[in-house]
Structure 1
């Protein structure tokens, strides 16, 4: 159900029900019903409103104590690439030792001059990746050798490209980590122990850095929406064969890392720290935005958010944050998708 212009009843609901946007996937509907929720699209009686887009101000204003909305006010401070870059840069300036997990990033167009100065001073030979500020699915991303290849007026972020990634079977990959934030004051964060590994569909080759020569996106971009368009993409055929094809489960990934003699537990502790530090970078802003609910939000949990953290590992198995997604996909294209997303939603 669309949230635009919607208001709710005067009394708090008594039944466990869920309201969601019709764009939500079948897995949400089936999982909620399996938990005993009365899932419908009637906004007058609900306990949890499960939206894929930001609810209207009227929905926030009408929410009652005991109701839960899936959208934390101000969450875009983490999920818009330019805002995330700004918050992490501020923290890095204050605490560089603990905020060293995010590639050097510039917000365009306002920091294009700073980027040019960096390039002249220390960026010679460095490769940059340029991402639209509001882009998704790999659309509009370019890899460049020189700032001369960047439109100085574009709305984007430019990052130093991580050109020495950890590879599995010769392929570049990233980790989509599902994170649940149930409150911002006090801050409550839960990291799910299952997610998926997204692989490129062509063996990785470091960009040669020649001006104007486009890098092959199937070698360098791990976005699932992009790679599944490659005829060579292999879809998983069974939830038990979780190391099959170009999307794996964390369970399969952990098994492979242990086979290579890597400290899996230590890796996930480092990833947990990256997640907590990232959210804390925007904590003050999120708490301020939550003021719209303060008089009715008795336990700080009126709003919640499931986030998708994209993490890449370098050749030393050190985690790097790429971006944070406010509406991580829950579309089920394979049996493995269904298994993972059902667990996460539960």
Structure 2
């Protein structure tokens, strides 16, 4: 396995002997114990174990809750009640379901666009939902079902996805909308479905991308990675990943799911997989060369589009996701996550976000996967540990010594605007600035968010204290003067109640307070 032999031990606490001392050092008499890690089984757990051993950890399968570092496949294996913030590390984040669950990802993006961005004029840099998410309907909602059934036209193709499953489980293609209606009628009549209930397991239906860009006639998607190395402060990084290809030539009319789904879990089911597996995964360099040779001559894209332009588009989409869910993530020091983000490109070179996966596959059964995955996982772990240790010791987080293949796309410490713009001339996606358009937008819309109806729409739940925090964050990220207040009640007038010493007074927010 491709692991660096000389990885620095970021957690080394060895005590050096004093100079001019003939006595043995305390560390030689009582060596510091190795930090303990707990690694859950499955999904190439040996890779994680080898990485952690190389940087000085000791695996102890018995210490499920007493650990320094824990890596498990699901957050259901984490007892959050006894997790020690700032002392332990875990590869999951409370609130990650808001973007790793297919339905909740769509709802998070939809809510953010409808509730928050409706308050202000969207800058040109912002991508609307329909620009990167295929048309989506929620089957568990009657209104959405009726819209879908009425919208469907002959020739339309839809793909149904259970929201909480992965590895292609439960996915099916729908060409005849009556098939979907029959499923609902069966369940209404209390007939037991053959596989799972599309009412019990919430399902989304998306318009199928019928004109995908093909590689030698085969459908492919891009598996890139999003690393949230820290939640407090929020730090997000991107890795370009690799390409996943179908084993079979693409045909919209082919009912074989292997033609339409590209993940390894599905492809492995075919008897020909062992003979063709090397053709199911490419590096980004291979895709870049292919596009330059075969796609570039018949399109108006620039040379090395995959290398230079595609990452910027993907990062812009990732930032949309982060903006939509960042306030729903529980801020606990020591939580991090490595997520697999799947994107597709159509014939018009338009980029679509398909889904974001928790616990992405770490299988290394092809040469490309062996080249990419161990390096990605090792760097993700090293970066996360480095961030954790620097936060723990109150050190500056940046620059990151472990940074190699990842690039930082979101950094709360340097965040200037709710709509960060990637500098076109920069090779590092972590550099953001405010465009002139954004500055004008902020000046024009400062007061809009203070209106009572805006305040009401921006509420996340019925907890007024959380609403106050949510409201305050919106002001901060519009570069406004921070309001230190506790909301006691809402009134029809634009007022905020605050405590000052033992007295409680009401202040009227005026426009000039923010000039």
Q: Secondary structure at the match of 1:63?
A: coil
Indicate yes or no: 2:339 matched with 1:339: no
Taking the aligned partners of 1:56 and 1:119, their CA distance within structure 2 comes to: 40
Deviation above 6 Å: which 4+ runs of structure 1? Answer: none
Indicate yes or no: 2:249 matched with 1:203: yes
Q: How many residues align?
A: 309
Post-superposition shift, 1:89? 2.0
Aligned-residue CA RMSD (Å): 2.6
Q: Residue 144 and residue 51 in structure 1: after superposition, are their counterparts in 2 closer, same or farther (change >3 A)?
A: same
Indicate yes or no: 2:234 matched with 1:187: yes
Larger proportion of helix: 2
Q: Alpha-carbon deviations, 1:316-346, whole Å to 9, x = none?
A: 2221111111110112223432332210111
- Counting only pairs closer than 5 Å after superposition, residues 204-223 of structure 1 correspond to structure 2 as 204-207=250-253, 215-223=255-263
Counterpart contact for 2:245–2:262, Cα < 8 Å: yes
Indicate yes or no: 2:324 matched with 1:304: no
Taking the aligned partners of 1:277 and 1:233, their CA distance within structure 2 comes to: 36
Larger Rg: 2
2:358 to 322, 326, 337: 326
Partner of 1:173: 220
Indicate yes or no: 2:159 matched with 1:129: yes
2:268 to 217, 220, 228: 228
Counterpart contact for 2:223–2:243, Cα < 8 Å: yes
Q: Residue 97 and residue 191 in structure 1: after superposition, are their counterparts in 2 closer, same or farther (change >3 A)?
A: closer
Partner of 2:140: 109
Unpaired runs of 5+ in structure 2?
Answer: 1-31, 188-197, 297-302, 379-515
Partner of 1:19: 38
Post-superposition shift, 1:114? 2.4
Q: Alpha-carbon deviations, 1:267-300, whole Å to 9, x = none?
A: 11101111221232222222xx33xx4xxx3xxx
Q: Secondary structure at the match of 2:309?
A: helix
Post-superposition shift, 1:57? 6.2
Post-superposition shift, 1:15? 4.0
Segment drifting more, 244-253 vs 270-279 = 244-253
Tell me the TM-score normalized by structure 1: 0.80
Taking the aligned partners of 2:103 and 2:237, their CA distance within structure 1 comes to: 25
Q: Alpha-carbon deviations, 1:13-68, whole Å to 9, x = none?
A: 97444221123521111222223333333537632211211156645534142421
